[in-house]
Structure 1
Amino acid sequence: MQLTRPDLARILERSVAERPTADLAWLDAPPVRARVLRERVVLGPDASVAVTADALFGWRIHRGAGLLVASTGPAAVGATVVQALRTGPLWFAAPCRVLDTVHEPDRAGFTYATLPHHPETGVESFRVLREDGRLVFEIHAVARHDFWGSRILPRIAHRIQDRVTRGYLVTARGQDGG
């Protein structure tokens, strides 16, 4: 947390050498005191897996949610991304590492885990998939508060997470005329 816009390039450089603070197992077996978030939206009739996945892997869905983004490249296993968000006068930087990806004709997406200096510890999965003839964008996140401010004021932390999640969903819905 800081009062000035974070230097994402510097944080990214530092974060590349860091190890994730959570792993994929959290999605199936959340730790005690973790918040589990599952959200999904049906995409428009003209939506396609390829177009939505391209926006997702290129971080455009994250940028569309209002985040500043610096990354080592598109979302791929081992890629590091640093996202920043301004809330009131405060800036928060959130470094993450991509742990897995899926590239299939009817399903695409990735999961990343937090790195040290992220306000939370957890994992978040983003998927676009064809289901019952419809295209769906879904988010599954499991996290617990690590930042002292989040632990003291969890409702505010949840509101910030919910705001960003809504931004992801709205942006994904708008990718292909939805």
Structure 2
Amino acid sequence: MRRDLTRVISELNAASLTYQEVGATQAESMPQGYGHVHRDVSLGSGREAFERATAALFGWRMHEEAGLTVVHSGGKPAAGIIVVLRAGWPLLELNIPCRVVYTVDEADRRGFAYGTLPGHPERGEEAFVIAMTETGDVRIQVRAFSRPASLVARAGGPLTRLVQQYATDRYVTALRRLAHG
């Protein structure tokens, strides 16, 4: 199975993203025609919480703690890295292929965004940025825009949005726990 994912990642390196608005999660307003996610939640406070949270994000631990299997083309998130997230059970497993489209690496802001690749049930982009405010509050900011790409996602209708909300909730919960050590 690992060999199959390695082949899939190799094939995805040549694939194009499945949406046009690459990097739009950085813009003040995101593209129309998509569902949007805006989440800004406190994870704790202080430099240690910030460093633990960013280490968990860049080590893919947030995704793993949220219940996903993570296979990537190498190391921490960086522009061009392919990641295949896997959800479900062995016989009912969903592959969720993405490419990291940008990273943020500032003293008090770190994160990345990935965009959807062929085979992803949605089309769009999701960004995760951890920020520390002047008062020391450490926050996770999740911004995403997406619309159904697969028949299953389209057939899911409003349930598809609930699944995305559930995944975002799991990311935030995992990162909160990981930020506290």
Q: TM-score, normalised by structure 2?
A: 0.86
Q: Indicate how the Cα distance of structure 1 residues 106 and 120 shifts in structure 2: closer, same or farther if over 3 A, else same.
A: same
CA distance in 1 between counterparts of 2:90 and 2:156 reads 15
Post-superposition offset of 1:26: 5.8
CA distance in 2 between counterparts of 1:139 and 1:177 reads 19
CA distance in 1 between counterparts of 2:106 and 2:32 reads 33
Assess if the C-alpha contact under 8 Å between 2:52 and 2:180 holds in 1.
Answer: no
CA distance in 1 between counterparts of 2:142 and 2:89 reads 22
Paired AA for residue 123 in structure 2? T
Structure 1 residues 105-160: Cα deviation after superposition (integer angstroms, max 9, x where no partner): 11100011111111000000000001242110111010010111211222221222
Assess if the C-alpha contact under 8 Å between 2:49 and 2:180 holds in 1.
Answer: no
Matched residue of 2:171: which SS?
A: helix
Assess if the C-alpha contact under 8 Å between 1:39 and 1:139 holds in 2.
Answer: yes
2:148 counterpart residue number: 145
Structure 1 residues 4-50: Cα deviation after superposition (integer angstroms, max 9, x where no partner): 9xx53332222122121231136535444310001122012355322
CA distance in 1 between counterparts of 2:113 and 2:145 reads 11
CA distance in 2 between counterparts of 1:36 and 1:95 reads 19
CA distance in 2 between counterparts of 1:82 and 1:168 reads 16
Higher helix share: 2
Paired AA for residue 159 in structure 2? I
Paired AA for residue 166 in structure 1? D
CA distance in 2 between counterparts of 1:27 and 1:88 reads 35
Paired AA for residue 8 in structure 1? L
Structure 1 residues 72-121: Cα deviation after superposition (integer angstroms, max 9, x where no partner): 12101111100011179632111111111111111100011111111000
4+ runs deviating over 6 angstroms: none
Aligned equivalent of 2:86, options 46, 67, 84: 84
Q: Indicate how the Cα distance of structure 1 residues 44 and 32 shifts in structure 2: closer, same or farther if over 3 A, else same.
A: closer
Paired AA for residue 10 in structure 2? E
Q: Percent identity?
A: 32
Q: TM-score, normalised by structure 1?
A: 0.87
Whether 2:5 is the aligned partner of 1:8: answer: yes
In angstroms, what is the RMSD of aligned CA positions? 2.4
Paired AA for residue 25 in structure 1? A
Number of residues of Structure 1 aligned to a counterpart in Structure 2: 175
Equivalent runs, 1:1-178 vs 2, <5 Å: 7-22=4-19, 23-25=22-24, 28=27, 30-45=30-45, 47-73=48-74, 74-86=76-88, 90-133=92-135, 134-177=137-180
Paired AA for residue 24 in structure 1? G
